[in-house]
Structure 1
Amino acid sequence: MIVQSPLLEELGLKINNHDICRIDIAAPVLKEVTLEPNGLLDAEWSITQVIAHLPVTAFSVLELDLETERHTFGPMMLCLLRIQPTMQKLKVVLARDKVRVPCPVNCPCKHPINWRSEDVSLANLEVVEIHGLQGEDDEVDFLKIILRCATVLQRLTMTISDDVSPSNNGYKKICSIMKEHPDVECHIMASSSEGVLYP
């Protein structure tokens, strides 16, 4: 795919696996790219390949709508953050199965195994929004990475799924993490209302 336009500011792409290595964009004022994978783009890791092949050296905003089903999303997110470490805002909307079935033993979503202890340079990241949290361990661990590595983070906003109660162990862990970072403006909201659950 070749796109050349000196005035193009927004671009929407529907892509297949075989499109990944054939993207060539020459648009000097391009501000927004929307990638919509179709059914053939079925591996979570493919989106990291797509972003790595985009001829854009720096994103200021990265917004992702992820249908992770039963998979761990932390390792994939680390790959994306390493590809675009200069972003200033990150927004992630998670769609996860309410009943989590463990993925296969050697599923790529679990690699690298030590992803929870890895660091990534996020020197410009100021705002993070994560919607659809269920209090799962991988979500808690990803929040820890963000708060550990985003040294200039100003605001973290999370929306919790309706079926997660304040007595949920994962919810309690998230609140505990927030208390450890009083310099960051943190909010937890319920997805079904405008009410703020935390602070």
Structure 2
Amino acid sequence: MRRDTWVRVGALAVCVLVSAALGGWQGWRNATVEPPAPPSVCPLIRPEVFDLLVPAHGALRTAEQNGPGLRSNYCLTESASTKAGARAHLWVSIGRYGRHEGRGPRCVDRDGLLTVLNNENHAVALGDRAVYFIAGDRETGRRINLSACFGTYGVLVQYEATDAADTAMVASATAVAQEVLSWL
């Protein structure tokens, strides 16, 4: 073979190898890897915690909320209405992350999970990272949203109550998240 033929064959081989490497990397980067299911969240919280935070609560309700690269389930309970209008609501979700759209399975790497717009986030010493914000007013009900990450798990707690002090709500939501994280 002539020398220019060898150069063409070599150049073609390099192009094929570079294209295969880039295509493989892009495919791996954008692949969705579904994670294993997280444990059911209701049994991870002691019944007395539900009784304390949501007095006269109804039955615990559960459901799954899955998406690409995420498997999760939640537990919800609400207090029965009272004549005085006092009420409480507790929603707890546990999610397990996999790989999706170039993002790895670590919870702290997820966009928006630990950042909330239009509210001030406050850090909590829990898991790999945790933040909360409080919204609403005391008369109609204050609501705390707490997000905590631990490895590939994300725990979300939404607790709403009337006539509750902010410090008590923070302590309550943190205790619920800690209760869930202690099982992981």
Q: Same-fold call, TM > 0.5?
A: no
User: Quick check: which one's helix share is greater?
Assistant: 2
Query: TM range, normalised to the smaller chain?
Result: under 0.3
With structure 2 as the length reference, what TM-score do the two structures score? 0.23
With structure 1 as the length reference, what TM-score do the two structures score? 0.22
